[in-house]
A and B are shown apart, each in its own frame.
Chain A
């Protein structure tokens, strides 16, 4: 048993009406990678905010290397050795890597010693095994690279503990592979990482120990090699999930959609495939493979400039999303906050927007009809909201996602394109969405599912298309649907 770099003892934090943290104690060993996992609302974020000085705990005490610790804000925590890598980066896009790392801490008098700063920044990045030109402008870096700059910044503060909040949520799978060794480097140099995630795979891959949170409490803690995946899930959701993925039972038949050599600029090339009634067609591939572009071309958001789309035997022209909808295509976008929902509008308004004709009489919208529609979907999809008039920003990610689904169910489209339907939502809600996909296909709808989470597309799809560089590299069916085969097609 190593020494504890951090001790959080009996931390309680309440907000009006809610106990966000209930007598939480957490001990973190020096140099370890300590995972913190839990569903949305479990208290992970609050705990993290107590640790980085954003919140002050109502009760309890923090100890850093055995000494009591008082924090006054993020900067204070940073200077005392606790750095946080937030999901939204704290970088200035118009400045260089070196400037960002040392922002506000330039040494010297009136003149800045750029040479010194560049050397220091280069050294920091070297420690992470990275060889960046530190004069590059941060705005031109990829998300993954920006994250590394954040880590270098943390190192520049002599961080003892680096807290990472869902660090891989915006990385591609290849970037993630490059990111994990960095955590190894941190471990080697004795820096402790607190790794917050709800991705089980990652926790098991890189953490030494995992603490599981639920309802503001720590409900379990174990070295990762002494606990199973299923045990963690059970602790997280507080009940046993029989399985992560429901079984597919629908037998697809009859072609609904047929695409012939669709192309758009240099994004999509010669795309041909068919979608059958009641089918879930998965599309896998790396980020940038053209999956979203294909979805947008089908839906009309960014129309194709060559090729043919045939729906139920009829050739159709789709040049706009309104034409897409007229042709019975709906699309759940990958970013529900930016393109899926108007967050400051109510549940009701967000659902009925796709088919206002259905809730009007003459030219007048009928509040009652709208409320009935909303009530129906809140019920059917188990959307947890205080009221149908509630603005969406108050709902959790999973419930917001169900509202996006509801809006397309209401529009009653036959072909539903789901782009990353379970991104950023917790396991319980994921399962509900899978079940919903099954019941939709039972009703004769067809689904095109795009996902970066391979296990998800592999389990839920009847067939799988693998895309790479704007082309369909191959189709996998039945026993051939495996992660290995997908990767083979991508790499070839």
Chain B
């Protein structure tokens, strides 16, 4: 029985264990790895991906998917920086950036609702949106890098020091609360588990689903704005392939792509794990190309664990059913 429990713990925390090993090994060999400064640095690095991943987590739990976030990161940055350069009030500039994400979220959500889309349709629709938005982000500067004329102020502070970390962890805390403690979060789990049951329980499935895309869009915007603030400039292709890093954070954290369950905290852990991994590999002197291999394997491991866990659960389910009959 004890052996079974140990195995259970390994099974459900496999990735954490791998990462702990990596941390211990790196910590032993490199004295500047386990320092407050370095760890804060890791958190700062993952905060943009993390913010976007929080929105993606809602989407995925709600039985949807948003591939357009990468382009939204780019577009929101471009809009905000252009406005600031044009002398717009910085709060307004930020708001315009966020509105872009909201608008794209609404379009995503409405399109998918019109075709009664499920996860696979959401995949294609938001992929189309990603391509369109990526292109829109290129117009204003003809695809060139835009350097920001940023003065001291709120916008500049968003990407500096511990602010990105505060935004990231603050958001994650609020969203975790919404997910687990409010009717909205409960409905999200129902819609993600079984859209038909949700509908036949009198839940306004369309409005709720649109809201997940809006949240995903607005957080992608926010991530893009924080990113711009950090580098005080905007690159219209800054968000290229960002959606993949974001999905990696969600998946490595352990939220299942099948929807209906998951947690924002897990996504935070997923983002941090990926960040720590890159950082540790950097410190150990492993090149970026090799790092990609490790990252890919980490994702595969996460999915593998997920499948093993699901199988175990299925077996328990069928076993119990048999007993009942």
Q: A20-B325, A45-B325 are in contact. Are A340 and B200 (CB under 8 A)?
A: yes
Q: Are B323 and A16 in contact (CB under 8 A)?
A: yes
Give 1 or 0 for each of B186-211: 1 = CB within 8 Å of chain A CB: 11011001101111111110100000
Q: Are B199 and A393 in contact (CB under 8 A)?
A: no
Q: Which residues of A contact B190 (CB under 8 A)?
A: 342, 345, 349, 353
A333 interface residue, CB < 8 Å from B? Answer: yes
Q: Which of A64-72, A88-96, A255-263, A354-362 contacts B (4 or more CB under 8 A)?
A: A354-362
Q: Which positions 160-217 of chain B face chain A at CB distance < 8 Å?
A: 181-183, 186-187, 189-190, 193-194, 196-204, 206
Interface size on A, residues (CB 8 A): 42
Choose among A41, A352, A365 the residue with the greatest number of B CB atoms under 10 Å from its CB. A365
Q: Are A360 and B183 in contact (CB under 8 A)?
A: yes
Q: A349-B186, A363-B182, A364-B181 are in contact. Are A394 and B321 (CB under 8 A)?
A: yes
Q: Which positions 283-327 of chain A face chain B at CB distance < 8 Å?
A: 299, 301, 320-322, 324-325
Q: Which residues of B contact A394 (CB under 8 A)?
A: 317, 320-321, 324
B293 interface residue, CB < 8 Å from A? Answer: no
Q: Are B187 and A353 in contact (CB under 8 A)?
A: yes
Interface size on B, residues (CB 8 A): 28
Shortest A345–chain B CB gap in Å is 7
Q: Are A40 and B325 in contact (CB under 8 A)?
A: yes
Q: Which residues of A contact B183 (CB under 8 A)?
A: 356-357, 360, 363, 365
Q: Which residues of A contact B200 (CB under 8 A)?
A: 299, 301, 321, 331, 333, 339-340
Q: Which residues of B contact A322 (CB under 8 A)?
A: 202-204
A407 interface residue, CB < 8 Å from B? Answer: yes
Shortest B311–chain A CB gap in Å is 15
Partner among A18, A330, A340, A342 whose Cβ is within 8 Å of the Cβ of B193: A342
Partner among A339, A363, A364 whose Cβ is within 8 Å of the Cβ of B197: A339
Closest to A396 in B: B324
Q: Which positions 50-73 of chain B face chain A at CB distance < 8 Å?
A: none
Instruction: Tell me, in angstroms, the Cα distance from A299 to B202 when the chains sit together.
Output: 9
Q: Which residues of A contact B186 (CB under 8 A)?
A: 349, 352-353, 356, 365
Instruction: Tell me, in angstroms, the Cα distance from A176 to B114 when the chains sit together.
Output: 39
A17 interface residue, CB < 8 Å from B? Answer: yes
Q: A41-B325, A394-B324 are in contact. Are A407 and B201 (CB under 8 A)?
A: yes
Instruction: Tell me, in angstroms, the Cα distance from A150 to B121 when the chains sit together.
Output: 34
Shortest B140–chain A CB gap in Å is 40
Q: A330-B202, A393-B317 are in contact. Are A344 and B193 (CB under 8 A)?
A: yes
Choose among B317, B320, B323 the residue with the greatest number of A CB atoms under 10 Å from its CB. B323
Give 1 or 0 for each of A400-437: 1 = CB within 8 Å of chain B CB: 00000001000100000000000000000000000000
Give 1 or 0 for each of A1-36: 1 = CB within 8 Å of chain B CB: 000000000000001111010000000000000000
Closest to B191 in A: A342
Q: Are B325 and A353 in contact (CB under 8 A)?
A: no
Shortest B114–chain A CB gap in Å is 14
Q: Are A321 and B193 in contact (CB under 8 A)?
A: no
Shortest A355–chain B CB gap in Å is 9
Instruction: Tell me, in angstroms, the Cα distance from A259 to B182 when the chains sit together.
Output: 37
Shortest B68–chain A CB gap in Å is 26
Q: Which residues of B contact A164 (CB under 8 A)?
A: none
Instruction: Tell me, in angstroms, the Cα distance from A340 to B190 when the chains sit together.
Output: 11
Shortest A54–chain B CB gap in Å is 10
Shortest A352–chain B CB gap in Å is 8
Q: Are B181 and A365 in contact (CB under 8 A)?
A: yes
B224 interface residue, CB < 8 Å from A? Answer: no
A341 interface residue, CB < 8 Å from B? Answer: yes
Shortest A405–chain B CB gap in Å is 13
Instruction: Tell me, in angstroms, the Cα distance from A353 to B322 when the chains sit together.
Output: 29
Q: Which residues of B contact A299 (CB under 8 A)?
A: 200
Q: Which residues of B contact A301 (CB under 8 A)?
A: 199-200
A492 interface residue, CB < 8 Å from B? Answer: no
Closest to A413 in B: B202
B223 interface residue, CB < 8 Å from A? Answer: no
A338 interface residue, CB < 8 Å from B? Answer: yes
Q: Which positions 270-325 of chain B face chain A at CB distance < 8 Å?
A: 317, 319-325
Instruction: Tell me, in angstroms, the Cα distance from A49 to B322 when the chains sit together.
Output: 11
A452 interface residue, CB < 8 Å from B? Answer: no
Closest to A44 in B: B325
Give 1 or 0 for each of A41-63: 1 = CB within 8 Å of chain B CB: 10101100000000000000000
Closest to B325 in A: A45
Closest to B207 in A: A322
Closest to A362 in B: B182
Q: Are A393 and B193 in contact (CB under 8 A)?
A: no
Closest to A329 in B: B202
Q: Are B203 and A353 in contact (CB under 8 A)?
A: yes
Interface pairs (21), CB distance under 8 Å: A16-B323, A46-B322, A299-B200, A301-B199, A320-B204, A321-B199, A321-B203, A322-B203, A322-B204, A341-B197, A349-B186, A353-B187, A356-B183, A356-B186, A360-B182, A363-B181, A363-B182, A365-B182, A393-B320, A393-B321, A396-B324
Which 5 interchain pairs have the tightest Cβ spacing? Answer: A325-B202, A356-B183, A322-B204, A339-B196, A342-B193
